Amino acid sequence: MLRLIRKTPEPEYATPRILGVDDWSYRKGVEFGTILVDLEEHRPVDLLVDRKAETLVKWLEKHPGVEIISRDRASSYADGARRGAPQAIQVADKFHLVKNLGEHLKNMFERKNACLLTPLKGSVSQEMLIQPEEVPLEVEKGVEEISINEEGLACDLTLLECKEEIQEKQIEDAPLQPVKYASRKHYLFEHIKALNAEGLSQRAIAIELRISRHTVKKYLHSEKVPRYTPRPSRPSKLDLYKPYITARWQEGVYKGVTLFLEIRERGYSGSWALLAQYLAKFRRDNPVPKPQKAGPGRPPGAGSGGSTTKGAAANRKLKPQPMLSAREAVWVILKRAQDLTEKQQKLLVHLRAFDSEVEMAYQLSLEFVQMVRERQGHKLEEWLLAVEQQVQQEQLMELGSFAKGIKQDFATVKAGLTLEVSQGQVEGQVNRLKTIKRDMFGRGKFELLKARVLHRNVA
């Protein structure tokens, strides 16, 4: 069968008027090829062995007559389309435009990671959710008394700033020793900044501190020490028996082996290690009361189990305030307002009220996404001018980098925001190609893969 497929001649297709160009991975992260799709006939017309500009130029020269070329933001495809079909109109893919915008917003949120701390419960009122654009930004610093406004948002932000100042003061006074995990992060943050100030490269810093270059890059782009929220726990076989364990604990059964035998008789099929791991954390939150020795006025066996438990609960450490990831913040910013959940609306209000730079980033992102959705390419120049004004004020440098890339490819981006040409079906053909490639279990070479992709009846 494979020999017959290889011997089948390649189908001959007419030169497409609207051509879609995209890359695909033959070996993930190592080898890449190019797929060419006729966007009017909805079919692939050829596969190229790599994604170099010279390969695309040769194909376009052999197939004159292409009028529109839809592509992503890759410079190799831009160069190949310009040299191989100079008469063709190049159109930037809308999906990749929004994706590039999200990547630059993610860099901004990683720099301003203090705004990723989520608001406390009750800090956002229902009125703020109805009209989020009217949220005032008035947070005073350095006041002796913290005033709470009607929404309570300014109070939370001021408390957060005071807490950060105390933490920074403690870090300055304390010696930089990697004792605990939090201290280790502060230790790395300070040393990475210091070594960078001495002129060391990111690679040299990574070798010196024996950490990843990605960590060095992330810490250098952050204004404060990054914080992370632990991942939510997954469902386990022990969940059904946790109420029983709590009840037996309150009755005075503290031995793990006894609890394990009892829940196993009731249908528990998990391991002893799972129960032991749960009990280790459970004992920290619910310590076993220690019996006190008999003394004057105290009967033998009398203990202070209740008071010990209450004291341990009172001294229990507060959980750290949860923190968003930069990717989650970007998703809240770029999502349609009517599609936001109530929780996401609260997060959006919190982000916008953090400072004027984040608010301006939200407004400019909203305008750009609206241009993409409604094909308002005529507003692109005005939008670039607004971003340039912010960059001149030393704000939104990440959006300034995004705008710089658009200026270098201005005609293509404007055509993408104007013409009704979509790269969606090209992505669909790439998914089909991946399915065929995986169905071959990696044994087929490029020629066999190309034959199966181009011949629909044998794919």
Look at residue 292 in the predicted model and tell me its pLDDT: 60
- The DSSP-derived string for 72-107 is -S-HHHHHHHHHH-TTSEEEE-HHHHHHHHHHHHHH
Beta bridge partners of 68: 18, 89
- Torsion over CA of 335, 337, 340 and 343, rounded to 10 degrees? 110
pLDDT > 60? residue 209: yes
Token representation of residue 215: 């960590």
Say what percent of the chain tops pLDDT 70.
75
Look at residue 23 in the predicted model and tell me its pLDDT: 92
> One-letter amino acid identity for 21?
V
Model confidence over 273-286: pLDDT tens digits? 999 999 998 998 88
Contacts of 426 (CB under 8 A, 6+ apart): 20, 21, 22, 35, 37, 39, 70
pLDDT > 80? residue 382: yes
The DSSP letter of residue 448 is H
Beta bridge partners of 298: 295
Minimum mean pLDDT range among 78-87, 222-231, 244-253: 222-231
Model confidence over 99-136: pLDDT tens digits? 999 999 999 988 887 788 765 444 444 444 434 343 33
d(Cα 431, Cα 35) in Å, to the nearest integer? 11
Helix, strand, coil shares, percent, the chain, to 5:
55, 10, 35
Sole residue written with tokens 């989520």: 118
Query: Model confidence at 445, in pLDDT bands (50, 70, 90)?
Result: confident
Beta bridge partners of 117: 323
Mean per-residue pLDDT for 285-303?
62
Helix (H) or strand (E) holding 402, with range, is helix 397-408
The DSSP letter of residue 459 is -
Q: Who has greater pLDDT, 143 or 420?
A: 420
Which domains are present in the chain?
2-93+422-458 (3.30.420.10), 113-229 (no CATH)
Strand 43-48 relative to strand 31-38: parallel, antiparallel, unpaired?
Answer: antiparallel
| Residue 69 backbone zone (phi > 0: left; psi -120 to 50: alpha; other: beta) | beta
Sole residue written with tokens 């022990």: 238
In degrees, to the nearest 5, what angle opens at C-alpha 353 toward C-alphas 350 and 356? 140
Model confidence over 69-94: pLDDT tens digits? 999 888 899 999 999 999 999 999 99
